[in-house]
Structure 1
Amino acid sequence: MSRTPQEIFESYAHAGPLTRNADALAETFTADGVLEAPLLPAGAAFPRRLVGREEIRRQMAAHYARELRETGLPNLEKSGYVLHTTTDPDVFIAEIDTVFDGGGAGPDMTVSLVQIFRIRDGRIARLRDYFAPELLD
């Protein structure tokens, strides 16, 4: 069954950033899938490059266990995204603005990023996640 970019993106976003479920996140990838954050320096807390579903599962579970931002989960009513298809039917781009509520402790924080998805057989074969490294400090 073929899945649309919208369906693939939503399942990825729900599994990872929204629920922080490393098992579900890993299942959105092909067995040899690659998750990259090319703007991160070597040795950053967030994994810079993960290869294979099992490494994605293991490393993201470890990341989720140690990293829970004080900002908590995104406010879905304030956040938004736009998906852009390309001339290659296996590639789409997500342009994302994620808003974290200040919760009375300060103003809302907006995190903007771009993700490039390469799909194979309805799963993510390669995801390049472009965000500002200082967001993980």
Structure 2
Amino acid sequence: MSRTPQQIFESYLYAGAMTRNADALAENFTADGVLEAPLMPAGGAFPRRLVGREEIRSAMAAYYEQPVTFDRSPNLEKSGYLLHTTSDPDVFIAEIDTVFDGDKDGDDPAVSLVQIFRIRDGKIARLRDYFAPGLLS
């Protein structure tokens, strides 16, 4: 049974951003899936391009083992996302606004990003994640 864009997105979000579980994250991808972060500088802490489920699994496990430099938790009540379907049934776009718990001055830092998903057989065949982790440092 094929998964909906909502199910695919929520599974990916939970495995990655919420639980930092590289195995679960990788299982969202096809065996030859591609995870790209085009805004990342080459050699940065976050991988710029990963090809294949196993490379995604190992590289993201290494990334998740790094110390977290941003110690605020996402505020799920203030955060949100919209999923946009396209004329291609195998492509959808996630527009995400993540709001983090405020600092001592009461500011609620926010990060906005866009992800483009290409799906095959209910799994992610290619994900372009337009996100800059440096915004959180």
TM superposition score category, shorter chain reference: over 0.9
Q: Which amino acid aligns with 2:75?
A: N
Pair 73,26 (structure 1): closer, same or farther in 2 beyond 3 Å = farther
What is residue 126 of structure 1 aligned with on the other side?
126
Q: TM-score, normalised by structure 2?
A: 0.93
**1:71 and 1:101 in contact (8 A); partners too:** no
Whole-angstrom distance in 1 between the partners of 2:86 and 2:67: 34
What is residue 68 of structure 1 aligned with on the other side?
68
Matched residues, number: 137
For the aligned residue pairs, the C-alpha RMSD in angstroms reads 1.5
Q: TM-score, normalised by structure 1?
A: 0.93
Whole-angstrom distance in 2 between the partners of 1:15 and 1:77: 19
Q: Which moved further from structure 2: 102-111 or 114-123? A: 102-111
What is residue 7 of structure 1 aligned with on the other side?
7
Q: SS of 1:87's equivalent?
A: coil
Give the fraction of aligned pairs with identical amino acids, expressed as a percent: 77
Gaps of 5+ in 2: none
Deviations 1:101-130 (A, max 9, x none): 125365211000000000000000000000
Say whether residues 1:82 and 2:82 are aligned partners. Answer: yes
